[in-house]
Amino acid sequence: MSEIELQNLSKSFGDIDAVTDVSLSVRDGELLCLLGPSGCGKSTTMRMISGLETPSSGTVYIGEADVTDQPAYDRDTSMVFQNWALFPYKTVLENVAFGLKMRGMGKQQRRDRASEMLERVHMDGYESHSPTDLSGGQKQRVALARSLAVDPDVLLLDEPLSNLDKRLREEMEIELKDIHEEFQKTFVHVTHNQDEAFTLADRIGIMNEGRLVQVGEPNEVYRDPKNKFVEEFLGDTNFVSGTVSDIDGQYGYLMTEFDSEIRVPVASETQPETSLTVSLRPEFMQIAPITDSSNRASHQTRADGNGGGGVSGTVESTIYRGSSIRHVVDIGGEQLFVEQGVTDQTAIDEGDTVELRWDVDDILVFRPDGTRVRD
């Protein structure tokens, strides 16, 4: 069994707290992505799982065993490094066989096993090459083969795809997923790339400033972010701040920066005059041109009775982004952006007056300290 259990893990380097009180369970055979910006402590957390760092406090369990004080070379984990860390003075085959040699496996046996692993990652034929001759994608494959060769309980991947170009990265994502399914091992994958995490992960753990903010399945963390940081980090969105002017049951009216009120869902304890920030995600807003001249009251909010909401404004700029078009709409001096699929035939140009509409219940509401407002 190779589930991982981290209990109240902390690590400081001098005065710097790299990781603070992280508790996390990784299930056996799961692919968990630790996602967060640079310096959020995700790599340090992974290095503590591997044994390359010793925690300042807290406990690491792998399987049933407390491995907190076990050095890296005694642990049944294997890591794929960001720069792959292939041994430059050894051939590709020697690199892959290195872990087996350290485990005392006989020469012929470890060469066979290493060849088999190289074949699995489609690097057969490169056995006698020097790693310095290989391209980034090839090094990546060799590093993966080297880690898989020792048959670890846990495979740790420290941003191994971040040095690859987009196309190659996407290819490797698929391949990693295949390998995960084939080898049935527990994978912990560290990345700062949201797309990578969403593609690969069974569950995502989001870290910020040394703390684990939220853990959950990809759709869960995306749909139901725990705080403003997660909402901001997982995708592009519009944040609009304002003050609650009136409460109407489950909804409140927020006097916004663009000088108009919008209706937002609030919690029962929400009082008038409190400051809130709402997230208006581009994917739940529809954009439509306003042609009816009687409706041209600029930056007016509207709220129909069925939980719909919206504002109107002027299209300031239009950016083609391949599969979608991003419109930046000026509403009383503030900008909101919204996306339109390229197949959407509605022609919208810069300078047009448009209306943005949404379902009020889609709006996520945050307090000034970043926590979610919800019932």
Closer Cβ to another protein, 93 or 336, answer by number: 93
In whole angstroms, the minimum distance from the beta carbon of 372 to another protein comes to: 39
CA quadruple 356, 360, 366, 371: dihedral sign:
negative
Q: Cα-flanking dihedrals φ and ψ of residue 40, to 5°?
A: -85, -5
In whole angstroms, the minimum distance from the beta carbon of 47 to another protein comes to: 8
Interface with another protein, residue 247, by CB under 8 A: no
Closer Cβ to another protein, 141 or 146, answer by number: 146
Closer Cβ to another protein, 99 or 310, answer by number: 99
Q: Which of 73, 165, 305, 341 binds another protein (CB under 8 A)?
A: 73
Closer Cβ to another protein, 115 or 301, answer by number: 115
In whole angstroms, the minimum distance from the beta carbon of 128 to another protein comes to: 14
Q: Kindly determine how many residues on this chain lie close enough to bind another protein according to the rule CB under 8 A.
A: 28
Closer Cβ to another protein, 95 or 115, answer by number: 95
Closer Cβ to another protein, 60 or 204, answer by number: 60
Let me know: does 136 contact 188? Beta carbons within 8 Å: no
Nearest alpha-carbon partner for 86 in 23, 38, 123, 132: 132
In whole angstroms, the minimum distance from the beta carbon of 265 to another protein comes to: 48
Closer Cβ to another protein, 150 or 276, answer by number: 150
Q: Which residues pair with 205 in a beta bridge?
A: 34, 215
Closer Cβ to another protein, 78 or 140, answer by number: 78
Binding characters for another protein, 115-134, by CB under 8 A (x = yes):
---------------x-xx-
Alpha-carbon span 373 to 111, nearest angstrom: 59
**Binders in 136-165 for another protein, by CB under 8 A:** 146-147, 150
Q: Which of 23, 87, 107, 109 binds another protein (CB under 8 A)?
A: 87
Q: Which of 65, 69, 71, 245 binds another protein (CB under 8 A)?
A: 71
Let me know: does 278 contact 334? Beta carbons within 8 Å: no
Let me know: does 343 contact 245? Beta carbons within 8 Å: no
Interface with another protein, residue 83, by CB under 8 A: yes
Cα 358 off chain centre by: 26
In whole angstroms, the minimum distance from the beta carbon of 105 to another protein comes to: 11
Interface with another protein, residue 50, by CB under 8 A: yes
Interface with another protein, residue 9, by CB under 8 A: no
Nearest alpha-carbon partner for 41 in 28, 24, 25: 24
- Give the N- to C-terminal CA distance of the chain in Å, as an integer: 39
Q: Which residues pair with 280 in a beta bridge?
A: 238
Let me know: does 225 contact 232? Beta carbons within 8 Å: no
Task: Please name the residue that has the structure tokens 């350290």.
Answer: 102
Let me know: does 341 contact 324? Beta carbons within 8 Å: yes
Tokens of 36: 């967060």
Which residues fall within 8 angstroms of residue 195, CB to CB, at 6 or more apart? none
Q: Which of 24, 33, 79, 280 binds another protein (CB under 8 A)?
A: 79
Task: Please name the residue that has the structure tokens 């409190």.
Answer: 274
Name the DSSP letter for residue 108: H
In whole angstroms, the minimum distance from the beta carbon of 81 to another protein comes to: 6
Closer Cβ to another protein, 70 or 194, answer by number: 70
Closer Cβ to another protein, 83 or 346, answer by number: 83
Interface with another protein, residue 99, by CB under 8 A: yes
Q: Based on the number of CB atoms within 10 Å of its own CB, is 106 exposed (0-12), middle (13-18) or buried (19 or more)?
A: exposed
Other beta carbons within 10 Å of 216? 18
Would you tell me which residues interact with another protein (CB under 8 A)? 50-52, 71-74, 77-79, 81, 83, 85-90, 98-99, 102-103, 130, 132-133, 146-147, 150
